Amino acid sequence: MRPSDSIWLTSIVVFSCIVIPQCSSRVLGELQQQAFRITPNDVEAHQGDEVVLRCEIERLAGRVQWTKDGYALGFSNEILGYPRFSLNQNHSTGVFNLRITNASVEDAASYQCQVGPAKHNQPIRAGAKLTVLGSLKAHRSGHHWN
């Protein structure tokens, strides 16, 4: 082995040490992405029930909104055009639950909790289906809903 070969091998080892921290840095960045802590679940409710679709986010970076069958419900606590709907949100804890009071069959739909993109964060989405049945009282008395 010549002295120049030894120097070449040393250079390779030094180069490898530089590459490893760069890879570690990239992995660390991926771990810091916004993510769901709790995703909404499919819910079956009766008319008149209160429904809460849960959505909790870790490392929140983007803005959060809910959609109903693809229609954006907005970002504020009160949802225009939907007086029985409200967004119970707490930015510091990452809680963004959609609350529906006095559920009706018109509320049955596919809902989605959406977190928008932000610097170095991709958008994320999670959905749930709400099914609203006739009132429990009507079912117990023998009435059937078509």
Q: Report CA torsion sign: 117, 92, 101, 45.
A: positive
Q: What is the pLDDT of residue 66?
A: 98
Calculated CA dihedral for residues 62, 107, 49, 114, nearest 10 degrees: -10
Quickly name the fold that domain 35-140 has.
Immunoglobulin-like (2.60.40)
Give residue-wise pLDDT tens across range 50-81. Answer: 999 999 999 999 999 999 999 999 999 999 99
Give residue-wise pLDDT tens across range 97-128. Answer: 999 999 999 999 999 999 999 999 999 999 99
Residues 6+ apart with CB under 8 A from 57: 34, 35, 36, 37, 64, 94, 96, 115, 124
Q: Is the pLDDT of residue 13 over 50?
A: no
Give residue-wise pLDDT tens across range 16-60. Answer: 333 334 444 444 455 589 999 999 999 999 999 999 999 999 999
- Could you tell me the residue ranges of all domains in the chain? 1-31, 35-140
Question: How is residue 9 written in tokens?
Answer: 């091998």
